[in-house]
Amino acid sequence: MLLQRVSVHLDKLERREQALIAKAELQEGRLSQHGRRSPPRSSAKGIPEVKAGSMEALKMKQMRQKKERLSYAVERLTLQAQQRERQLRKSMAAQ
């Protein structure tokens, strides 16, 4: 019973880790694509050049922060999974 619950929980953590890794890769791809594109023409939108540049910089900063948060979450989940595996091995060895 306990072993099954731990196994299910580890599977859930692993799926979450994979999802976060995929999100981080997606964001990284978006950041790299965004850097290759030419800057948007702000005159067509009616936004002054200064605001368009600052908005782009703000979006880039937000994307970087999100990437850092996702990387941190992936690292934390990896460490949690490793800790739970160690605990599981330790409890199995004690039995």
Q: Which domain holds residue 70?
A: 2-94
Length of the chain: 95
- Name which of 51-55, 78-82, 89-93 the model is least confident about: 51-55
% pLDDT > 70, the chain:
81
pLDDT-derived band at 49, boundaries 50, 70, 90: low
Q: Which amino acid, residue 85? A: E
**Residue with more model confidence, 88 or 46:** 88
- Name which of 15-29, 34-48, 74-88 the model is least confident about: 34-48
Report how many domains make up the chain: 1
Q: Which amino acid, residue 8? A: V
Beta-carbon contacts of 9 under 8 Å, excluding residues fewer than 6 positions away, are 84
Please give the C-alpha separations between residue 26 and each of 20, 64, 95, in angstroms, as whole numbers. 10, 12, 44
